Structure 1
Amino acid sequence: MKETKSMNAPSCTEIRTRLQDYLDGDLPRKESMSLFLHIRECDSCGKDLEEMQRLNGLLGGLPPVQPPEDFDARILESVPYAAYRAMEPLRRERMPVILDEEALPAFVRARGTRAVGGLITVLTAVGLATDALSGGWAILMVAGALPEALVLLQSASRRIYAGVMHHPSTR
């Protein structure tokens, strides 16, 4: 029985604890290579690997085990559902964070920002419609409309979400 030892090489004990992971392909490449090199040189670990491969083959040939008929019921009985059900009304009232009114920054929600943005949008649209401004000003119109659009989009999304999630037919 030849066992290898070096400064960075894992010991036979360490190798044996990782053999199943090695067989399953669950080890990182470097660690897998280290195990491979050790097993190639160490007869004892090589025999352990062969034995584990044989055992895995035998286990794979066994018929699947069916759980008892009352398995699900026994699991569900062990879960404390009273506390879970007591929390149900709280869970239904939640709103996704992005739809919460406070999700948008205060300066975006501020009436002043929205009013100035609306005014910029209207003035830019009028200027573009009367050919008083060139097409480059369209960016200003979009930028002016953005705060109001964000608030309106969030508000509409919140109403849609609340309607879908709290509609009696979806429960």
Structure 2
Amino acid sequence: MNFAMKAVAIAIMGFSLNAMAVQKDITINANVDPSLDMTLSDAQPLPASVLMQYIPGNGLAPYAMQTKIWSNTYSDVNIRLANDVLLYDRAGSANTVAIKVTYGGTAPANEVTTGGRTMTKEVLFPGGTTTVRTGSIEQELRFTQEPQGEELPAGNYTGVVGIVLTQPTTAPTPPAV
């Protein structure tokens, strides 16, 4: 009987040691476009959200970040907005704020619209095909209230900037007849 009690005690101790084990699971996600991407200049992902600061009497302060475009091919890149950018008051009021998006500078020629514009490969990758693997030159992505400096009614505003990057595709040459 004494032997049986010892065996049970040892079994209980074994179970209690196993109860102290810990397993940590981490889910890894990746959104892969094998041909084109935009990141912060240090290759980190673009932030999921940003906060534009409101300065009384001056409106929303512009928000800017340094970015790079990455590509598998030495090719021009088209940039456009998925939709016009408007911030809406979350409280449900009719108040909205238009946001202007620029890429590569603040000049009107650098504005990004739903119509889009083309950035040439020579400007993005000035070192030629060998520089594609290191990303484009750094360029500023900027969000600015439009018109800038306009005072806003109190509210908690939110909106989405959808940036669409594409590369021109070449159609196959039709066979000679």
- TM-score, structure 1 normalization: 0.18
Q: Give the number of the structure whose alpha-carbon radius of gyration is greater.
A: 1
Q: TM-score, normalised by structure 2?
A: 0.18
Greater per-residue helix proportion: 1
Structure with greater strand share of residues: 2
